[in-house]
Amino acid sequence: SSDIFAIYGASGCGRGVMPLAREKLRSRHVPLDHLVFVDDHPVSGVINGHRVLGFSDFLSIDAAQRHVVIAIADGGVRENIAQKCIRNGVGFWSVVADNVVVMDDVVLGEGCILSPFVTLTSNIRVGRHFQANINSYVEHDCFIGDFVTFAPGVKCNGNVVIEDHAYVGAGAVIKQGKVGKPLRIGKGAIVGMGAVVTRDVPAGATVVGNPARLINRK
């Protein structure tokens, strides 16, 4: 038996990742019926030409190895699913679009998704299960934690630290931090779409607007 590959999440995010995954596997000569969606609440048996399986069905398919990439925008959901995969001996793979630009000394954790037109410049560390949606960039000397999500068009400038589970909305701009004093987006913070972040965002906070201001604390 051979390996089977899955996109976990058969909704908007997953459907955006599937074509990138298909292209990647085609170049590795993996048969396309070995690429499936997994979803805990499947609404259809087939989506965009690929089977949709529940997790237990995915586990019972005959396969040498199972590989999952979690394509769900909610970082908390991604973490729960990642733990479930680990408990069941399922491995992770990353999906990186062909035209992504990655420069020098970039270290990416497992299970990341880099959509088309993403750029990561130099000297960047990224944790597990990062999602950078279309047209996002990360500039030099940034540290990004685990289960961080960038919606489309996020502009993350240099010397920024983004802690675990932060969510950055579409088109947000994060100001460059300083060497030795990075701009910091705290754990689980939410940056609203189009926000212009000019200073640190506390853990769990939501900020919106230009300049970005706090609207609540969790």
Q: Which residues bind ligand UDP (CB under 6 A)?
A: 9-14, 39-41, 72-73, 77, 81
Exposed/middle/buried for residue 3 (C-beta within 10 Å: 0-12, 13-18, 19+): middle
In the complex, what is the shortest distance from the CB of residue 218 to ligand UDP, in angstroms, rounded to a whole number?
Answer: 20
Closest separation in Å from C-beta 172 to ligand UDP = 17
In terms of CB distance, is 72 or 183 closer to ligand UDP?
Answer: 72
- The catalytically annotated residue of 50, 67, 140, 165 is 140
Of residues 9 and 158, the one with the C-beta less far from ligand UDP? 9
Q: How far is the CB of 155 from ligand UDP (least distance, A)?
A: 21
Please confirm, yes or no, whether 140 is among the known catalytic residues: yes
Nearer to ligand UDP, 5 or 142 (CB): 5
Q: In this chain, which residue has its C-beta nearest to ligand UDP?
A: 11
* Min separation Cβ 27 and ligand UDP, Å: 25
Q: Which is nearer to ligand UDP, 81 or 197 (CB)?
A: 81
User: Which are the catalytic amino acids?
Assistant: 140
